[in-house]
Each structure stands twice: as C-alpha cells, then as structure tokens.
Amino acid sequence: MIDVYQIIDAIKPLDKAKGQEAEAYINTLTKPLQSLGEIERLAVQLAEMTGEVKPDVSPPGVIVFAADHGIAEEGISAYPQEVTGQMVRNFLAGGAAINVFTKRVNGLLEIVDAGVKADIPGVRTEKIGYGTKNFAAEPAMSRKDALRSIQMGMRLAEETIERGAKLLIPGEMGIGNTTSSSAISAALTGIKPEDLTGRGTGIDSKQISFKSEIIRRALELHRPNPNDPLDVLSKVGGFEIGAMAGAMLFAAYRRIPVLLDGFICTTAALLAAHLTEHAKDYMIAGHLSVEPGHLLILDRLGKKPLVSMGLRLGEGTGAALVFPFVQAASDMVKNMATFDSAGVSKEHI
C-alpha cells in the first residue's frame, strides 16, 4: 500500500543544473537565439523536471476520475446528477471529447470511478463512496476518505507510469465539482467565493450568486483549516479532486511532468501544492479556462497558461489539446541539428 506522506516527503526540487545544460544545448541548435520562445522555455522546464536534457513526453497518460457531489442537491448545476454516470458510459463507449483528443495524441486513457452514485459495468472501479455528502449541511467526507482518495490517485498514476506514460494529464467528471473547486480554492487562498465562482455547466447569473452564497455559508459552517489541506478536502472537496491531487503528487515523485487542464484540475493542483511546495514545480499550465477562478489560482501557483481558447469542458480536454506544444519542445532538443552537425555558420546568428 502506498504511504502518502512518504511519497510527499520524497518529492525532490527541480534539477536546475540540468535546465542550464539544456539551455546551453538549445543555444547550439540551428536557429537564432530564443527564436522559438515559449517552446525553448518549455524544453528547459522539461529538463529540470525529468533530469534529462532530451526527455521523452510521449505517450501522455490521461486519467479521468469521475465522482458525484452531494452539493448538487442544492441545485447548483444546469444538469442533473445522473449525467455523471451517463458521461462515464460515454467515455467507455469512446464518444466523449477526451476520447477523441487522447486518440489524436496517441495517449493512454484510463477512466476511473472514484465515487459515482451509480454502479457502471466495465469501468475501472476505485469508488471511495457513492458520491460525497452535501457540504452545505455536513462535511463532504471523512478525513480518512480524503486521504484514501489521494492514495488512490497515487496508485493510478503509478500504474499509468508503469504502462509507459512519460507525462500525466489528470482529468475529471462530476456534476457539482466546480462548486467544490471554488470552495476548496476559497478555503486555501482566502479569495472570496464570488470571485472564484463561474458558470460551470452553464448556469445563469442568478444561479452564480446562489452558488457563491452556498459556498460562503458552507465555509462559515465548517471553517476548514487553510494550513491543513486534508481538512479542506474532507469538508468541501470531492473524491475525484483528491484523486487528481494524488496523481499529481506521485508524478512529481517520479519526476514526470504534469500538464494541467482547467479550473477543477488546477484546484487539485493547488491542493497538491499545499501538501508540498515542490509539487507545483512539475506542473505545466496548459490553457486558461473561462472560469473566473482559474486565472486567480494559476497566479497563486505561479503558472502562466500556454494558450487561451475559451474552454470550460474539463475531462482533461484542454491539456490534451495543447500537448503537441509540449511534444514540440521535446522534439526540438531531440531532433534538431546543431550548427556544428549541420555545417551551418552561426557567426551572424
């Protein structure tokens, strides 16, 4: 059984020396200095993360954790809770956006039932419970279950890495999980719920105000300790959010880069970073979601998103879409010629 705290304590800081070595090598490639901009910076980051000047990032491992949320009982979503299970069946049938985008990048896809209210034949079942409790009235889960969710995410990441994944894309599905994410983020950062709360599945402005008020009251009721991430997760979190945090932590332990998706995924990243500051060193922000809380949390993590495309689907889709940029950074250092090997003069470059 994985020891969560042993893994957390074993996460190492970035290999800055290897990053400098990579930067020096990149400067010998047949192009003007820094002419590939963000791709060059990504290549240096990858070297620091992996400890290799020419790291592989393919295939990416995509793990979609699905779970239900008791807070959905408050009517904070445009969709009924049954949609979580229905979407898991869609994932299994290959009909969702993440199926299409994972296939496009030749990724390894795993769909995991972390806590869906329904039992779904054919899915990888790692159910912590049949949905969380309604945190408007009681804690979402026990502290024990919060730890179990993180531990489960670590185990799934380990399996995915053993299958050959060189980069991790955590994804999620769960009606109500933007509400949980806003509550977690507010608890950990002190940012007001109304500044973090967005449309989620497509609610209107009146419903957004209602959603923010539910979160505010829940935080007053439970008073989660911002210095204790497990306390925050147990009081207002979700099983899939804990699992994503665990997967990110294990990836960092194995020096595997993590490509972040949208607001919910980045909330899990914030949770992981509060468990150990070194976790965020292994994260790359894929894109900027239209959810208002996303940029605020990326700023807290010190991350700059690669692109902004108006996405808010989740599932890991945004990260899968921008993976080719990360692949390009790896390919650049692995496959471009140097001035010397190509016989190109660099005197005027």
Q: Do 298 and 251 have their domain in common?
A: yes
Cite the active site residues. Answer: 315
Spatial contact of 124 and 160, defined as CB atoms under 8 Å apart: no
78 — pLDDT class (breaks 50, 70, 90): confident
What's 337's domain CATH number?
1.10.1610.10
> Per residue in 317-341, pLDDT tens?
999 999 999 999 999 999 999 999 9
Would you mind telling me the total number of residues written for the chain in this entry?
349
Task: Kindly report the pTM of this predicted structure.
Answer: 0.96
Window from 18-32, 60-74, 188-202 with minimum mean pLDDT:
188-202
Question: Dmax of the chain from CA atoms?
Answer: 71
Spatial contact of 97 and 315, defined as CB atoms under 8 Å apart: yes
Range of the domain at 30: 16-55+333-342
Q: Do 46 and 162 have their domain in common?
A: no
Encode burial over 216-225: b for 16+ CB neighbours within 10 A, e otherwise. Answer: bebbeebebe
What's 165's domain CATH number?
3.40.50.10210
Q: Do 24 and 108 have their domain in common?
A: no
Look at residue 349 in the predicted model and tell me its pLDDT.
Answer: 59
Residue type for position 224: P
Q: Which residues are CB-neighbours of 197 under 8 A, at least 6 positions away?
A: 178, 179, 182, 208, 211, 212, 215, 292, 293
> Per residue in 238-260, pLDDT tens?
999 999 999 999 999 999 999 99
Q: Do 243 and 264 have their domain in common?
A: yes
Task: Return the DSSP state at 81.
Answer: T
